[in-house]
């Protein structure tokens, strides 16, 4: 059953006294519980007007539906099929003027937090694969190279 709240689920933020002394992101992003609450606000409209507002054509209702079923890997696959940078877009894309401006929920309250949900999925995926992303040094092929501006350390 959809969450009929007219307001977006608030995103936790750093305390102003803490954030004044660091360079971390102010917005902390959704927890799983908050993401599920926000995802349940989506009405999964048959005409999907939000998709027409997305410059890269993310299948928004589909990935939000996956979140409601706690299929986070499936949600990531849907987003990533059209958007190579979901973690970036979830943070800097102007959703308010694009997909969220076309959300049916915006006609009587606030639109679904599409960017917030995209960020949640991308961050969750990134954390899961963090260990797999460790870069291993390749075996030497015994070829030598020089890098212009690399200093004379390479010559030793």
Backbone angles phi, psi at 112, to 5 degrees: -65, 140
Could you give the number of structural domains in the chain?
1
- Residue 59 resides in a domain: yes
What average pLDDT does the structure give for the chain?
Answer: 88
Contact (Cβ atoms closer than 8 angstroms) between residue 98 and residue 83: no
- Which tens digit of pLDDT belongs to each residue from 82-122? 999 999 999 999 999 999 999 999 999 999 999 999 999 99
What is the CATH number for 92?
1.10.1060.10
CA angle 11, 53, 46 (to 5 degrees): 90
Beta-carbon-side half-sphere exposure of residue 38 (alpha carbons within 13 Å): 26
Residue 121: give the domain boundaries. Answer: 16-138
Q: Torsion angle of alpha carbons 24, 27, 28, 34, nearest 10°?
A: 180
pLDDT level of residue 3 (50, 70, 90 thresholds): confident
119-148 pLDDT per residue, tens: 999 999 987 655 454 445 667 888 887 777
Q: Are 46 and 61 contacting, i.e. CB atoms less than 8 angstroms apart?
A: no
Helix (H, G, I), strand (E, B) or coil at 156: coil
Residue 148 lies in a domain: no
Per-residue pLDDT of 22-72, as tens digits, reads 999 999 999 999 999 999 999 999 999 999 999 999 999 999 999 999 999
Higher pLDDT: 149 or 29? It is 29
Residue pair 11/95 in contact by the 8 Å Cβ criterion: no
Q: Residue 145: inside a domain, yes or no?
A: no
Tell me, yes or no, if the pTM score tops 0.85. Answer: no
Q: Which residue(s) pair with 17 in the sheet?
A: none
Identify whether 105 is part of a domain: yes
| 67/37 Cα distance (integer angstroms) | 10
């Amino acid at each position: 059953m959809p969450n009929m709240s007219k307001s977006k689920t608030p995103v936790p933020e750093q305390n102003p006294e803490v954030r004044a002394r660091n360079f971390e992101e102010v917005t902390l992003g959704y927890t799983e519980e908050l993401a599920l609450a926000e995802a349940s606000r989506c009405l999964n409209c048959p005409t999907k007007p939000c998709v027409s507002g997305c410059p890269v054509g993310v299948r928004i209702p589909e990935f939000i539906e996956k979140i409601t079923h706690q299929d986070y890997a499936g949600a990531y696959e849907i987003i990533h099929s059209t958007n190579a940078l979901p973690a970036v877009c979830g943070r800097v894309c102007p959703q308010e003027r694009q997909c969220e401006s076309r959300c049916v929920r915006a006609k009587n309250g606030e639109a679904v937090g599409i960017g917030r949900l995209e960020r949640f999925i991308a961050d969750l995926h990134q954390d899961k694969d963090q260990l797999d992303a460790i870069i291993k040094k390749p075996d030497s092929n015994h070829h030598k190279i020089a890098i212009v501006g690399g200093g004379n350390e390479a010559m030793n």
